[in-house]
Amino acid sequence: MSGAPHLLTAREAGLVSCTRCTRVWPAGTSACGRCGKPLVSRDGYSLSRVWAWWIAGLMCYFPANLYPMLRTQVLFTVSEDTIVGGAIELAKYGSYFVALIILIASVAIPIGKFVAIAWLAVSVRRGSRARPQSRHRLYEIVEYIGRWSMIDVFVVAILTALVQLNIAASIKPGPAALAFALSVIFTMLSAQAFDPRLIWDRDTSDDGTDRA
Amino acid sequence: MHDTDIARADPAELIACPQCDALYRARMPEHGARAVCARCHTVLIAPKRRAGMTIIMLAAAVLVLVLGAVWFPFLKISRQGFVNEATLLDAAMSFTGGPLLVLSLAVTALIVLVPLARAVLTIYVLAPVVFDRPPPPGALRLFALSEALRPWSMAEIFALGCAVALVKVADLAQLSFGPAFWMFAALVFLTVIQDRWMCRWSVWHALEQGQAARRERAPA
Ligand SMILES: [Zn+2]
Ligand SMILES: [Zn+2]
pTM of the model: 0.87
Q: Are residues B15 and B112 in the same domain?
A: no
Say yes or no: B144 contacts chain A, CB-CB below 8 A. Answer: yes
Which pLDDT score is estimated for A65? 92
In this prediction, residue A4 carries a pLDDT of 53
Whether the per-residue pLDDT at B94 is higher than 70: the answer is yes
- Does B173 lie in the same domain as B80? yes
How many domains are there within chain B?
Answer: 2
Query: Cα B64 vs. chain centroid, distance in angstroms?
Result: 14
Does residue B60 share a domain with residue B39? no
Q: Is the domain of B117 the same as that of B33?
A: no
> Looking at beta carbons, which residues of chain A come within 8 Å of B72?
none
| Portion of chain A with pLDDT greater than 70, in percent | 92
Kindly indicate the confidence band of residue A116, based on its pLDDT and cuts at 50, 70 and 90.
very high
Going by their DSSP bridges, the two strands A24-26 and A77-81 should be labelled as: unpaired
Whether residue B37 is found in the same domain as residue B53? no
Co-location of B37 and B90 in the same domain: no
Q: Residue B172's domain is classified under what CATH number?
A: 1.20.140
pLDDT at A202: 63
Ligand nearest to the backbone CA of A19: 1
pLDDT tens-digit profile of B155-176?
888 888 888 888 777 777 788 8
User: Could you tell me if B42 and B113 lie in one domain?
Assistant: no
Average pLDDT on A21-47 reads 88
pLDDT for the residue B4: 57
Q: How far is the CA of A47 from the centre of ligand 2 (A)?
A: 20
Comparing B209 with A112, the larger pLDDT belongs to A112
Average pLDDT estimate for B56-74: 88
Alpha-carbon separation of residue A207 from A48, B33, B215 (angstroms): 13, 35, 39
Cα atoms in the Cβ-side hemisphere of radius 13 Å centred on A82: 10
Domains in chain A: boundaries: 1-41, 44-201
> Is there a single domain that holds both residue B120 and residue B76?
yes
Other CB atoms within a 10 A radius of the CB of residue A112 amount to: 16
Domain limits for position B100 = 49-217
| CB B154 within 8 Å of CB B114 | yes
Q: CA-CA distance, B69 to B62, in Å (whole number)?
A: 10
Average pLDDT score over chain A:
85
Q: B200 and B137 share a domain?
A: yes
B162 contact residues in A (CB cutoff 8 A): 158
- Which residues in chain B are closer than 8 Å to A78, comparing Cβ atoms? none
A205, exposed or middle or buried, with CB in 10 Å at 0-12, 13-18, 19+?
A: exposed
CB atoms within 10 A of CB A49: 16
pLDDT at A204: 38
Does B79 share its domain with B186? Answer: yes
Residues B107 and B206 in one domain: yes
Look at B82 and A168 and tell me if their CB atoms are within 8 Å: yes
For domain A44-201, which architecture applies? Up-down Bundle (1.20)
Q: How far is CA A211 from CA A14, A137, B11, in A?
A: 9, 26, 18
Q: Which residue did the predictor score with more confidence, A80 or B170?
A: A80
A163-204 confidence digits (pLDDT tens): 887 777 888 888 899 999 999 999 999 999 999 999 988 643
